[in-house]
Structure 1
Amino acid sequence: MSHGASAAEEALPQLEKIGPHRKRLGLISVVACLGGLLFGYDTGVANGAEGPMAQDLGLNLLQLGLVIASLGFAAAIGALLAGSLADAIGRRRAILVLAVLFFGGVMLVIFSPGGGGVFDPVGFAMLLSGRIVLGLAVGGASSVVPIYLAELAPYEIRGSITGRNELAIVSGQLAAFVVNALIAVTVGETGGVWRLMFAVCAIPALCLFFGMLRMPESPRWLVEKGRTERALAVLETVRSKSRAKAEFEQIAIIAEEESGAKIGLGALLTNKWLLRIVAVGAGLAMIQQLTGINTIMYFGSRVLEQAGMTPQQAVLANISFGVVAVIGGIIALRNMDRIDRRKTFIIGLSLTTTCHVLVLIATAVFPEGHPARMWAVLILVVAFVLSMQTFLNIAVWVWLAEIFPLHMRGLGFGISAFFGWGMNGLLAFVMPTLLEWSLGGTFGLLAVVGVLGILFIYRFVPETRGRTLEALEEDVTTGTINIITASQRVHSRR
């Protein structure tokens, strides 16, 4: 148990290690994580599809950057809207809405007219619209799925349960890289091959929709809406009866204390501690994006081509990014409930920043055309992705799902994700131009931001591991969490 654990955690009956309740929780997480799989595929498919798409549709660099970046910008809006939607209609129904958006977005993309290398304004508009719809779904999934899992999971294994969504994301990205490579090798990289690459994600979208029809609503959301009997019934499907009753009582106490109080945006604007924690959440989400991880997932093939690989070599080597991302995700899940979040963040940013500096050095030491240049860049970017997935990506989404009080969890997560996805979109828009300017210089800029990120986390980000959501809610709302964070900084210096 981490520093700052309260008597509330100690009072709960011991969690079952195995049994039907754990199996049921596992099934719920698998179905919900199809949203993460779609998130991953739709962000990763551009890495490999963007070249053939630009060639087929006659897009210049700015137009291509807009198509890729539109997903990130729309995801920012989607995260914000879906967070509030999940607070209003429930986590489960919000995920069903997102499944419909995933399917509709991919249909717009694959059926957009145009081709043959000639720019078609109508086809471009339809393609852009499809990417925007997909972005709304991706952003929504990034907000709602972690919240849904965190609210269903017991606090002892909340990190590993919630973190499964991030593992699903990187698995979706790996699937996109593999599918892209298979299609590129067997069909080629010309014509409408990019449409096939996008079309694959229609299948998990349908599976998510029909799967969520049979899944339960979040018990914490049900309590907040006064549906207490249903909430207890849901808890009893994923806990032993004694544990479900004890957790339900703690949830009900917090809900009763807050009955009649301001909720959502009203609560946020009238409580300086809630404003502070939302600002910290937004900062952490932006730091995650400023590592450049999604730049690699969008433009990894382009980075490797800049390093000296041929297009076919790059699309095949790109699979290595997806493989190590999944490996890192598995390691992260194993450690998520063993290592404090703050420590995980600082280790991760230290490693990723080191990789950025080494890429800068490698591109300076090995000039363009040098045979060692592409291998050095490949190895260092693989190390960067492994470090990112092992220590940062899963932990950030888990932390965001834990830190906000129930009455504004969707809103707080949505605001944080809005800033994160906004930064994602900005990076995606400028990255083709930055890479064209200087491969090493681009990674050098990311390294500078990484150093600033480490300082931000050390100073402002509180610990959440080993706490119930209700205990965290009380400390966040009263500002006690900031005193605990200050004591953790002192403890870490000793």
Structure 2
Amino acid sequence: MTTKEDYLTVNKASGPNSDAPVTPFVKVVALIATLGGLLFGYDTGVISGALLFMGKELQLTPFTTGLVTSSLLFGAAFGALLAGHMATAAGRKKIIIWLAVIFAIGAAGTALAPDVSWMVFFRLVLGVAVGGAAATVPVYIAEIAPANRRGQLVTLQELMIVSGQLLAYISNATFHEIWGGDTTWRWMLALATLPAILLWFGMLFMPDTPRWYTMKGRLAEARRVLERTRAKEDVEWELMEIEETLEEQKALGKPGLKEVMTPWLMKLFFIGVGIAVIQQLTGVNTIMYYAPTMLTAVGMSDNAALFATVSNGVVSVVMTFVGIWLLGRIGRRTMTMLGQFGCTLCLLFIGAVSALMPETVNGEVDALRSYMVLAGMLMFLCFQQGALSPVTWLLLSEIFPTRLRGIFMGGAVFAMWIANFLISLFFPILLAWVGLSATFFIFAAIGVFGGIFVIKWVPETRGRSLEQIEHYLQGILDKNASRQRRVPVRRVSEARPPQ
């Protein structure tokens, strides 16, 4: 029988509050899996530069410009939903392998698209892979990683996303500088096939997660993975914890609509949806997808706008490192509030600059105005990529119960991508209709409501294992159940509070 003293020894190894280093194998697994994040970032970022050059050949209008950009996001919504459901049956590893193939097909198809219809179709295909990766990779890493390093390792996904976007911005500027011409956008899009092949090949040699193996009764394989990813003294207690949690859930039978509609689970699902959606309602992806378009609208040349957009990518990568560092030192809830309110203030700044500064000075375009807008974008990205985005993916990978994690994660990421799709589709239209300043004031107003949601609903999960988080959230969302349910002492009552 596990005693209090046995449980507390966990914290000296790789338990929730330990300082033990992560094993090299876990780092390799995380690096290969997050190639999905790199593809996610590249495929969403590359369109920002490609739009400047494909417009003439594909005869794009403001509406079809928004459609080409947002079609990927619409596909991503359904990719997240499907991957979330299929990951439980097929396994996290197998889903990621399939997604790598879809990434390669989508990238090649967009590069060869002869007209708008085919471009939209292959962007939808590519979106299925992007959404599937967004829903599956964080869960895969969260279940592979030891509790004391889960935050930093899951956040590698966000680092790879912004690195992929930076790579896209650099390749856009490089292709245009070296070759120029109206067809360079095809090479920009084709480049994404290379990391897709690497992801497919690398995942062939990776294991699935201990929790998935245990769900399928493959305990020997679960133990082998734990032995390669945990301190030696942690293997038994964590396998026991996973088994006990899954046994409790197994007694409930296969998840059904009645169970999903349980009040506390519905509350938890809508909290997850809220966390996912507010990250998009800041308007972050209008900056990531349309930065060159916005900068040329305020006076920059095409070349200057492309090179300026590279600075967006650099800041995003640097601030994601800052975000990973912060996750080890402050709580998830605190970090979410910092990112949400910081982004809202920056949106107000961009709106004010574009509204108050003159468009021309002495009959010439005011260069200072365009660089002030760029400065506002960079400040915004400091808060978005340094706080809000990293903690969003981490919270989504943590808060859902093991039994329903794939389904709930898929649903939350589906909502995220639908929000992203709608914002990206209507942003060019809104920009043409009300102008840059009014558009950003609208996003700032939405950000205030997002801040209220964060204060009221976002939970603190730092310092707990995934099983402890599950019991903790049930306790605070369903007080009747928390009083009646008997929970093993070692998992809940002896758990250390978040630090």
TM more than 0.5 = yes
2:184 counterpart residue number: 193
Matched, 1:413 2:409: yes
| Contact 1:29 1:149 survives alignment (8 Å) | yes
Distance 1:272 1:208, change over 3 A: same
Residue 207 of structure 2: SS of its match in structure 1? Answer: coil
Within 2, Cα distance between the matches of 1:274 and 1:368? 52
Residue of structure 2 equivalent to 1:434: 430
TM-aligned CA deviation for residue 65 of structure 1: 0.8
Alpha-carbon distance in structure 2 between the residues aligned to 1:8 and 1:393: 36
CA deviation string 1:228-277 (max 9, x = no partner): 11101111011122211111111111111111314445365341111111
Is the CA contact 1:33–1:165 (under 8 Å) kept in the aligned structure 2? yes
Q: Give yes or no for contact 1:41–1:175 (8 Å, CA) kept in 2.
A: yes
Q: Distance in 2 between matches of 1:333 and 1:264?
A: 34
Q: Is the aligned partner of 1:150 residue 2:142?
A: yes
Alpha-carbon distance, 1:436 to partner? 2.1
After TM superposition, list the pairs within 5 Å mapping 1:58-457 onto structure 2: 58-113=59-114, 123-188=115-180, 190-266=181-257, 268-369=259-360, 370-437=366-433, 438-457=435-454
Identity %, equivalent residues: 38
Unaligned runs of 5+ in 1: 1-5, 114-122, 484-494
Task: Deviation per CA, 1:102-140: give whole Å up to 9, x if none.
Answer: 001112111222xxxxxxxxx322211110011000000
Counterpart of 1:25 in 2: which secondary structure? helix
Is the deviation greater in 56-65 or in 168-177? 56-65
Moved more, 468-477 or 414-423: 468-477
Q: Note if contact 1:158-1:337 (Cα within 8 Å) is conserved in structure 2.
A: no
Superposition misfits of 4+ residues, deviation over 4 angstroms: 6-9, 16-19, 478-483
SS of 1:15's partner is coil
Q: Any conservation in 1 of the 2:13–2:233 contact (CA below 8 Å)? A: no
Q: Equivalents in 2 of 1:342, 1:244: separation in Å?
A: 30
Counterpart position of 1:491:
none
CA contact (8 A) 2:13 2:20 kept: no
Asked if the contact 1:405/1:477 (under 8 Å) is kept, the reply is no
The DSSP-based 3-state class of the residue aligned with 1:318 is helix
Matched, 1:459 2:434: no
- Letter of the 1:450 counterpart: G
Match of 2:10 among 9, 12, 19: 12
Aligned length: 467
The correspondence of residues 27-46 of structure 1 with structure 2, limited to 5 A, is 27-46=28-47
Q: Return closer, same or farther for 1:268/1:310 CA change in 2, 3 Å cut-off.
A: farther
Offset of 1:71 from its aligned partner? 0.8
Amino acid in structure 2 at the alignment position of 1:431: F
Does residue 50 in structure 1 map to residue 51 in structure 2? Answer: yes
Does structure 1 retain, via aligned residues, the 8 Å contact 2:71–2:421? yes
Q: Distance in 2 between matches of 1:63 and 1:374?
A: 26
Of stretches 37-46 and 102-111 in structure 1, the one that deviates more from structure 2 is 102-111
One-letter amino acid matched to 1:334? W
Instruction: Assess if the C-alpha contact under 8 Å between 1:9 and 1:468 holds in 2.
Output: no
Partner of 1:492: none
Residue type matched to 2:157 in 1? N
Instruction: Single out whichever of 237-246 and 470-479 deviates more from structure 2.
Output: 470-479
Structure 2: which amino acid aligns with 1:255? L
Shift in Å, 1:18? 6.6
Consecutive unaligned residues in structure 2, runs of 5 or more: 361-365, 481-499
TM-score where L is the length of structure 2: 0.90
